[in-house]
Structure 1
Amino acid sequence: MATNDDLLDIAVEAATGAGTRLREVFRTGARVATKTDFHDPVTEHDLAAEEQIRAVIGKRAPGSVIVGEEGGTQPGSGEVTWYVDPIDGTANFAAGVAFFCVSIGAAVGGELVAGAIYDPVRDQLFTAGDGGARCDGVPLTSAGPRTDREALLLTSYPSAYDLAQQGEEALHRFGRLVTSFSAVRRPGSAALKLAHVAAGWAHACFGLGASPWDVAAGALLVRRAGGRYLGDPFTVGPYLATVGGFDLAGSALAELVPA
């Protein structure tokens, strides 16, 4: 069976290979379709990138289970499950906004063991494995302010779905975050937001409806960097990440995602 280091190497190869192609076609025009509704776009490049990733995994780790955003679950006979988002931040990619990434996480026996997040535009590679968390080979330490008033929050809350479910209450909660944190930004791409928390470039991020392919690699990255990740990365649901030492109990975030 492949070692965790082998799995990380596969994730890196697949993520950077697909990401290189995405960088070449970025802002050249993309045919955009929708999936569940008009808030949920997909392009031909999402599909092509996932096929490319699946081909790398199939060649280097045959028998793996692959859970991909576009292609669904591919059964396998092996012990490794891969969580693949070929373009996390498709709406940004399609519009020409330079905040999207390729995210690939690997789990063995229900435990995340390797992850790669590749930002093609900046040519930045975030990795997480037995050797810790790194960006372009440099170790990451998830550290920063302890309190909301000093911290930068990244979130996509409230989404259209959140507004439909919570109504005006969602707006009140968002207002509480805006007034509590030093700054709140909504850049998109859960995986890349998690990478920025792992690096300490942002100090907290959260969402209420993330899928495993969105957060698997990022969850491991944050934890390996010494930050805190709350949520089940293997199911659709809420997630929250903070830099190490952040006072979550005293944060406005605790009202949305209990510590």
Structure 2
Amino acid sequence: MDLTTSRELADIAVEAARAVGDQLRKAFRSRPAVQTKRDFHDPVTEHDKAAEERIREVLARRCPDSVVVGEEGGTRGEGAIRWYVDPIDGTANFAAGLPFFCTSIGAAVGDEVVAGVVYDPVRGDEFTASLDGAFCNGEPIRSSGARTDREAMLLSSYPSPRDLAAEGEEALRRFARMVEAFASTRRPGSAALKLAHVAAGWSDVAYGTRVSAWDVAAGSLLVERAGGVFIPLSGSVFEQGGYLACVGGFDLAGSVMAEIAEGRGA
């Protein structure tokens, strides 16, 4: 894909994300009613569903011959361009009033993510990526920071409840190794926004398991175009599984994460 088309798709993603910013800011800290999907650890609100429908409207108008794969509404449409949409990545945070959530929209053609946006409506931070580079609020960003675990900030969702159910005490032992190895370990609760922060160099390493393409498509491109490293542990960003990302220059081979992530495609 040429750079011009990639930039155009990024602009469309930005327009769609901005279209739901006001409604998410207005609903934030209103303690909306919460329903659950898979189990009580997997919440959804009326705002997730309404925001996704609004995003779909913008994408249908601006890019009608395309497919939209959304967390709430499934797959709809036909075309060569696929949009991966998470209207609120970090719903539990959003519902409780914790300001770490975002809207994530990634565009893909074939087996390549070619454009994306991760939009933080509370802070107003707009992370955009195309084949031309990665930006935050229009300014270029570079993914750089710590070089070793003992200097680094790790953002991790591991172990999730499903990790604990599948691995038992081994998951706790892995998590303990991570906490001991890194200077700081945090569990902020949004895969897309974690990746955006690694892309900007605000954190050094991000790790998660059992994510879907709408969680990480845009963020993966942000990290890569900013000069960082993104590794889909399932083999593809489009397959459900785990991921590992780090800033450029980080000693991943010497990190405890290399061993923990090895063979863990979940």
- Residue 42 of structure 1 pairs with residue 51 of structure 2: no
User: What's the CA shift for 1:255?
Assistant: 1.5
Give the gaps of 5 or more residues in structure 1. Answer: none
RMSD between superposed Cα atoms in Å: 1.3
Partner of 2:117: 116
User: What's the CA shift for 1:17?
Assistant: 1.2
Q: Structure 1 residue aligned with 2:69, among 39, 64, 67?
A: 67
Partner of 2:143: 142
User: What's the CA shift for 1:19?
Assistant: 2.1
TM-score, length of structure 2 as denominator length: 0.95
User: What's the CA shift for 1:10?
Assistant: 0.6
Give the gaps of 5 or more residues in structure 2. Answer: none
> Is the 8 Å Cα contact of residues 19 and 101 (structure 1) preserved in structure 2?
no
2:238 and 2:224 map into 1 onto residues whose CA distance is 15
Partner of 1:209: 210
Farther-moved stretch of structure 1 (57-66 vs 40-49): 57-66
User: What's the CA shift for 1:58?
Assistant: 0.5
User: What's the CA shift for 1:6?
Assistant: 1.4
2:101 and 2:94 map into 1 onto residues whose CA distance is 6
Q: Structure 2 residue aligned with 1:250, among 250, 254, 261?
A: 254
DSSP-derived class of the 1:178 partner:
helix
1:190 and 1:48 map into 2 onto residues whose CA distance is 21
2:131 and 2:195 map into 1 onto residues whose CA distance is 18
The amino acid that maps onto 1:194 is L
> Is the 8 Å Cα contact of residues 228 and 241 (structure 1) preserved in structure 2?
yes
DSSP-derived class of the 1:30 partner:
coil
User: What's the CA shift for 1:30?
Assistant: 0.8
1:148 and 1:169 map into 2 onto residues whose CA distance is 21
Alignment of 1:154-233 (within 5 A): 154-231=155-232, 232-233=236-237
Corresponding residue pairs, total: 258
User: What's the CA shift for 1:25?
Assistant: 1.3
Alignment of 1:7-86 (within 5 A): 7-76=9-78, 78-86=79-87
TM-score, length of structure 1 as denominator length: 0.97
1:29 and 1:151 map into 2 onto residues whose CA distance is 34
1:85 and 1:70 map into 2 onto residues whose CA distance is 8
Once superposed, which parts of structure 1, at least 4 consecutive aligned residues long, lie more than 2 Å away? none
The amino acid that maps onto 2:130 is G
> Is the 8 Å Cα contact of residues 113 and 220 (structure 1) preserved in structure 2?
yes
1:250 and 1:151 map into 2 onto residues whose CA distance is 13
Between the aligned residues of both structures, percent identity stands at 64
Residues 50-89 of structure 1, C-alpha deviations (whole Å, 9 max, x = no match): 000000000110021110000011131x210000000000
The amino acid that maps onto 1:219 is S
The amino acid that maps onto 1:170 is A
1:209 and 1:130 map into 2 onto residues whose CA distance is 27
User: What's the CA shift for 1:145?
Assistant: 1.1
DSSP-derived class of the 2:21 partner:
helix
User: What's the CA shift for 1:122?
Assistant: 0.1
2:250 and 2:5 map into 1 onto residues whose CA distance is 33
DSSP-derived class of the 1:3 partner:
helix
2:18 and 2:257 map into 1 onto residues whose CA distance is 34
DSSP-derived class of the 1:102 partner:
strand
1:204 and 1:195 map into 2 onto residues whose CA distance is 11
1:4 and 1:143 map into 2 onto residues whose CA distance is 24
The amino acid that maps onto 1:213 is W
1:200 and 1:217 map into 2 onto residues whose CA distance is 16
